[in-house]
Amino acid sequence: MRSIPTFVLLALPLLDWYVVFGYGIRKGPETNQDISYTTHYITQKVDHFGFANDNTYKQRYLLNDQHWRPGSPIFFYTGNEGAIDWFCNNTGIMWEWAPSFNAMLIFAEHRYYGESLPYGNKSFDSPNHLNYLTSEQALADFVSLIADVKQRMPATSKSPVVAFGGSYGGMLAAWLRMKYPSAVVGAFAASAPIWEFGDLVPLGGFAVVTTKSYASANPNCPIIIRRSWSVMDQLASSVEGREFLASALGLCNPVKSSAEVKSWLSSTWINLAMANYPYKANFLEPLPAWPVKAICSHLSDINLDHKELVHAVRHAVDVYYNYTGSASCYKTSESATGNLGDQGWDIQSCTEMVMPMSNDGVNDMFEPSPWNMTAVTEDCQKKFKLTPRPDWIIRQYGGRNISAHSNIIFSNGLLDPWSAGGVMQSISESLVAIVIADGAHHVDLRSSHPDDPISVQMARKKEKAIIAHWLGYQPKSLKATVGRNVL
């Protein structure tokens, strides 16, 4: 594993948008589940969709069957852009619900991440080797893994499988149900921005939601952040100003231009919005409860002069990067984590996962930054010799027209920037949107916590009841089987 608290990074090839897409945080202090699993490997075809390439690779998956009984369900986590053990440890709700359903838990690693590398340490060295890093191949891995488990463990052959996933993993869970409805009875897709493609949602939505999160913590906060950009430009225009910026912000490196500082700060504000959980937790960095509020308590006075404003920004940044008091200085190259870790997502966002976004600086607190597909394409060709296909995901997975599908929960938190690309209204009786007023990025997949707001508690109750319904439990029999905490 990486040295910094594990994370998942979505580095959009878009100017200064380096956004952490991923998973919330480590096991919180209140989480008492015993996470114990066995590690397994399945031999997968590198190319599920052709017959010319016979290469295989070993896909890792983790399994826990301590609560499982023959015929009872399998909860299957569709791994996303990171090593699977981390998702396993950080999807507390599956562990919490397993006893109620006597569920077996399987966490499947996504190809090209963690240990599941189709061409070992050469997986990223050429377009030929990268060719098999697609969501379609990943879904085919998942469905093959399910079939393999059922074959090798006959007692599971009748077990219904429920897909779980958060973020990109949530997209995969939903798409697995859509594409392979015979393999999974339903999918719980938490904070899955399946519509953050093409023109399915407004390009500015992500930035607007982020800004709203800050405004709801303190109405002056986004105003000050918006003002900070031009203040930094002005300061960075002189040697003396650049020196001031570096020292006032506690940077390790000298400031060469305002761009790097601004980019670092915007990523920081975005990551904070995603990690805006109601309790003290360890996201990319350890954070206090409701960290956006904590940040904004330093950004509330709109009458500051330039230098005072920079000092205020520093206090805010301290909350994010130095909550534990162990940072000696800050690196603008390490906005999220200090370690970019897996490179897979950079590749994916240069092929299929093109999520267009823009800022206008009016409806949001960021600097204006239009979406420029030409620039993105050139960048991808330069970095990876790959040309994005921005329309493909919509064709492949149906865009907004997914009403023919069934049994998917789309949950989104209104505090989460990614909710802008999510399904926010139920599409049918069985394509259910659950909107969590006080929720950041897939907070509902995390273990429950005494400080969870009512909206989060209600969401989990509803999600659990819907899954029970897919599995054919009558409310009564579920109660009888599983005891008090259901429905």
Q: Does 147 bind ligand NAG (CB under 6 A)?
A: no
Task: Determine how many CB atoms are found less than 10 A away from the CB of residue 36.
Answer: 9
**34 part of the active site:** no
Task: Determine how many CB atoms are found less than 10 A away from the CB of residue 476.
Answer: 9
Of residues 161-200, which lie at the interface with ligand NAG (CB under 6 A)? none
Task: Determine how many CB atoms are found less than 10 A away from the CB of residue 67.
Answer: 16
Cβ closer to ligand NAG: 308 or 378? 378
- Which listed range, 54-62, 282-290, 368-376, 455-463, lies at the site for ligand NAG (CB under 6 A)? 368-376
> In the complex, what is the shortest distance from the CB of residue 406 to ligand NAG, in angstroms, rounded to a whole number?
12
Taking the chain, what is the end-to-end CA distance rounded to the nearest angstrom?
Answer: 38
User: Do residues 456 and 59 lie in contact, with contact meaning Cβ atoms separated by under 8 Å?
Assistant: no
Cβ closer to ligand NAG: 384 or 473? 384
- Which of 250, 288, 390, 453 is in the footprint of ligand NAG by CB under 6 A? 250
Measured distance CA(261)–CA(267) in Å, rounded: 10
Which of 100, 135, 167, 358 does the annotation list as catalytic?
167
Which of 85, 416, 438, 444 does the annotation list as catalytic?
416
Cβ closer to ligand NAG: 68 or 95? 95
Of residues 1-20, which lie at the interface with ligand NAG (CB under 6 A)? 1, 6
Six-digit token string for 467: 């899954």
Longest dimension (CA), the chain: 72
**144 part of the active site:** no
User: Do residues 173 and 149 lie in contact, with contact meaning Cβ atoms separated by under 8 Å?
Assistant: no
Q: Does 248 bind ligand NAG (CB under 6 A)?
A: no
Which of 110, 129, 405, 441 does the annotation list as catalytic?
441
x/- mask, ligand NAG, residues 115-134, rule CB under 6 A, reads -----xx-------------
User: Do residues 307 and 231 lie in contact, with contact meaning Cβ atoms separated by under 8 Å?
Assistant: no
Cβ closer to ligand NAG: 331 or 461? 331
Q: Map tokens 């069957």 to a residue.
A: 65
x/- mask, ligand NAG, residues 78-97, rule CB under 6 A, reads -------xx--x--------
Q: Does 32 bind ligand NAG (CB under 6 A)?
A: no
> In the complex, what is the shortest distance from the CB of residue 395 to ligand NAG, in angstroms, rounded to a whole number?
12
SS3 labels along 206-233: HHHHHHHHHHHHCCHHHHHHHHHHHHHH
On the 0-12 / 13-18 / 19+ scale of CB atoms within 10 A, 32 is exposed
Measured distance CA(231)–CA(225) in Å, rounded: 10
Parallel, antiparallel or unpaired: strands 104-108 and 56-64: antiparallel
Measured distance CA(258)–CA(163) in Å, rounded: 44
- Which of 203, 259, 327, 465 is in the footprint of ligand NAG by CB under 6 A? 327
- Which of 4, 35, 289, 471 is in the footprint of ligand NAG by CB under 6 A? 35
Measured distance CA(402)–CA(398) in Å, rounded: 6
Q: Does 391 bind ligand NAG (CB under 6 A)?
A: no
Q: Does 68 bind ligand NAG (CB under 6 A)?
A: no
Catalytic residues: 167, 416, 441
Q: Which residues bind ligand NAG (CB under 6 A)?
A: 1, 6, 35, 85-86, 89, 120-121, 250, 318, 322, 325, 327-330, 372, 374-375, 378, 401, 404
